[in-house]
């Protein structure tokens, strides 16, 4: 390394003053260009890091939102599970018929439905058919189902007007009750 440096000094010393100035200027420009390239690389790396930080902050915000939603669902699930545990037990068909009498609704059909197995709860599912009821009767009956102390869940509600009497409805829905196993 020392011999290379000695040869470069000897070569530079043999140049005329104009050539020495030109070589010095080119050397300075090369150093400036090298410095600019280093600065540009550092800026690009900084931009890349800023982008990663922004992406990380966005992912963090999504995770925080998902956590809040999970906590909300967990609270609601605990409330439903508590209601299932502490709620009264009873025959679903009997409950439905009793509520129909209170609402002055005639139940046309009640058919048991298959329900999925669950490890902690037994679900009893019935499809209920109401024929020739008014809208207020149907709403009152569904409201009674919602207000009963026994946890009932209404699913797949279908309402059709009757072609012979448009003021009356045919209503079909599935309702489930739950009991701990």
The model's pLDDT over 135-176, given as tens digits with 9 standing for 90+, comes to 999 999 999 988 888 888 898 899 999 889 889 999 999 998
**80: nearest Cα among 25, 15, 6, 151:** 151
Residue 113, φ and ψ in degrees, nearest 5: -120, 150
Asked whether the predicted pLDDT for residue 81 surpasses 80, the reply is: yes
Domain ranges of the chain: 1-86, 92-180
The model's pLDDT over 25-67, given as tens digits with 9 standing for 90+, comes to 998 999 999 999 999 999 888 888 888 999 999 999 999 999 9
Q: How confident is the model at residue 128 (pLDDT cuts 50, 70, 90)?
A: very high
HEC string of the chain?
CHHHHHHHHHHHHCCCHHHHHHHHHHHHHHHHHHHHHHHHHHHHHHHHHHHHHHHHHHHHHHHHHHHHHHHHHHHHHHHHHHHHHHCCCCCHHHHHHHHHHHCCCCEEEEEEECCCCCCCEEEEEEEEEEEEECHHHHHHHHHHHHHCCCCEEEEEEEEEECCCCCCCEEEEEEEEEEEEC
CA dist 156 and 168 (Å) reads 20
pLDDT at 157: 92
For residues 78-102, give the mean pLDDT. 83
pTM strictly above 0.75: no
State the average pLDDT for the chain: 88
Which residue in the block uniquely carries the two structure tokens 């009152």? Answer: 140
For residue 127, the cross-strand partners are: 111, 174
Enter the CATH code of domain 92-180.
Answer: 3.30.70.60
């Amino acid at each position: 390394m020392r011999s290379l440096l000695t040869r470069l000094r000897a070569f530079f010393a043999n140049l005329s003053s104009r050539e020495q100035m030109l070589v010095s200027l080119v050397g300075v420009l090369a150093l400036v260009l090298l410095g600019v390239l280093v600065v540009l690389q550092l800026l690009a790396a900084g931009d890349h890091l800023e982008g990663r930080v922004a992406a990380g902050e966005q992912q963090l915000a999504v995770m925080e939102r998902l956590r809040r939603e999970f906590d909300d669902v967990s609270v609601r699930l605990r409330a439903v599970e508590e209601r299932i545990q502490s709620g009264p037990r009873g025959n679903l068909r009997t409950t439905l018929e009793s509520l129909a009498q209170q609402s002055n609704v005639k139940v046309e059909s009640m058919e048991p439905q298959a329900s999925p197995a669950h490890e902690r709860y037994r679900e009893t599912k019935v499809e209920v058919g109401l024929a020739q009821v008014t809208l207020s009767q149907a709403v009152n009956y569904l409201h009674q189902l919602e207000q009963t102390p026994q946890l009932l869940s209404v699913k797949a509600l279908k309402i059709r007007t009757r072609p012979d009497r448009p003021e009356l409805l045919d209503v079909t829905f599935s309702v489930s009750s739950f009991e701990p196993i």
